[in-house]
Amino acid sequence: MMKPCAKADIGRGCYRYDGHAFREEPCSYQIDAQTRGSLPTDQCYKMETQQRYRGVWVDVFEGQRFIPEGTSPPEWPRTGLKSSEWKEKAEQARLATIWMNANRVHFDGLTRRNGARWIIEFIGRKTMYPGSYGHFGMSGQEIIVDRVISLWECPRTGICG
């Protein structure tokens, strides 16, 4: 657990926003008074070597997910928001979620629809250690897509895969 920021820490690992002091996340930096930026994942975290992956890509704005072939998506808790069991199940689901970073590849002529599911085979690299990746750190791992081998859109209804 990181210790809270004090006024003396501003500019030395902490920043001020909306009257509060916040601890900087690893690999983040301040662009201007209102904007924070971060280095690309593979420039900041250790990555496994490139390998071939196949599975389902859930292409949702701010919710990119990859479900490897032969696995099921993590089960997020639905009830008991304030219970310790809910928190434990939510953390297990977060750690099992893989953020898919396809920012470096181009999908020539492909119309990407928000919420689409794709069967994808690609060469990529996964983060070596669990952490907080993707939008608001809601994924326990991240995979960077280096090269797409094949891509097919799943039917809008029914099973994908």
Strand partners, 56: 67, 119
What is the distance between the alpha carbons of residues 54 and 105, in angstroms, rounded to a whole number?
A: 16
91-125 residue pLDDT tens: 999 999 999 999 899 877 676 777 889 999 999 99
Nearest to 148 by CA among 128, 122, 124, 118: 122
Across the chain, mean pLDDT equals 86
> What's this model's pTM, rounded to 2 decimal places?
0.77
Specify the DSSP element, H or E, that contains 65.
strand 65-68
**Single-letter residue type at 66:** F
Q: Is 78 left (phi over 0), alpha (psi -120 to 50) or beta?
A: alpha
Give the three-state DSSP class for 44: helix
Q: Report pLDDT for 5.
A: 79
Please report which confidence band the pLDDT of residue 81 belongs to, taking 50, 70 and 90 as the band edges. confident
Q: Is pLDDT larger for residue 33 or for residue 137?
A: 137
Average pLDDT over residues 9-33: 75
Task: Please check the confidence at residue 1 and state whether its pLDDT lies above 60.
Answer: no
